[in-house]
Amino acid sequence: MKPKAIFIKLGITLTLVAILGYMVDFGELRRSIAAVSARALLTAVLGYALTQVITSTKWYVLLQAAGVKCTLARTIKAVFIGMYVNTFCFGTIGGDLVRSLLVSGNSADKGISLASVVADRVMGLSVLAGIGILSGLFFGSISEQPDIALVATVFIVLAGLGW
């Protein structure tokens, strides 16, 4: 990466951190953190790490099926770096682009790698939609509207057949 680009990214990041620092009441933040038990914090951190490893494994399987040569360890590293970029830099698209580039490296697999990220996102969105539809069916908000219940049921069946 060019030094000018690094300087610009660093400047943007520091500016955003400064704005957040100005907006945050650090006394309230300290009290909130102190109220969280160490066990709950550890559980949350381990749970988050586990979900990222599962996501990495799913994406690794996609990459292998597409013929992209990479290791599971490299895929896990790319996912964690991508999540960092999602959180602190350029948003979801930036993180996805970063993880795609990290896995493909200098090879010609960049297009395939990026397509696998898109496929991973579509699968995640489908699962999320399915969870929402099933929740709506079980908890009544969709089942009270027959037309929506029918569309939701068709979606679930088609998603199951496509899987």
Which pLDDT tens digit goes with each residue over 54-110?
A: 999 999 998 888 888 889 999 999 999 988 888 877 666 778 888 888 888 766 678
- Count of residues for the chain? 163
Question: Is the domain of 114 the same as that of 124?
Answer: yes
- Which residue type sits at 126? S
Q: Which domain holds residue 10?
A: 1-35
Question: Is the domain of 128 the same as that of 95?
Answer: yes
What is the pLDDT at residue 7?
A: 82
Q: How far apart are CA 106 and CA 110, in angstroms?
A: 8
**Residue 31 — very low, low, confident or very high, per pLDDT cuts 50/70/90?**
very high
Question: Is the domain of 107 the same as that of 128?
Answer: yes
Question: Is the domain of 8 the same as that of 63?
Answer: no
Question: Is the domain of 73 the same as that of 112?
Answer: yes
Question: Is the domain of 51 the same as that of 65?
Answer: yes
Question: Is the domain of 89 the same as that of 137?
Answer: yes
Torsion from C-alpha of 73, 77, 80, 81, nearest 10 degrees: -170
Q: What are the C-alpha distances in Å from 106 to residues 66, 70, 117? A: 17, 12, 17
In Å, how far from its chain's centre is CA 160? 23
How many domains in the chain? 2
Angle of helix 38-66 relative to helix 110-139, nearest 10 degrees, comes to 130
Unique residue bearing structure tokens 């955003």? 16
pTM equals 0.66
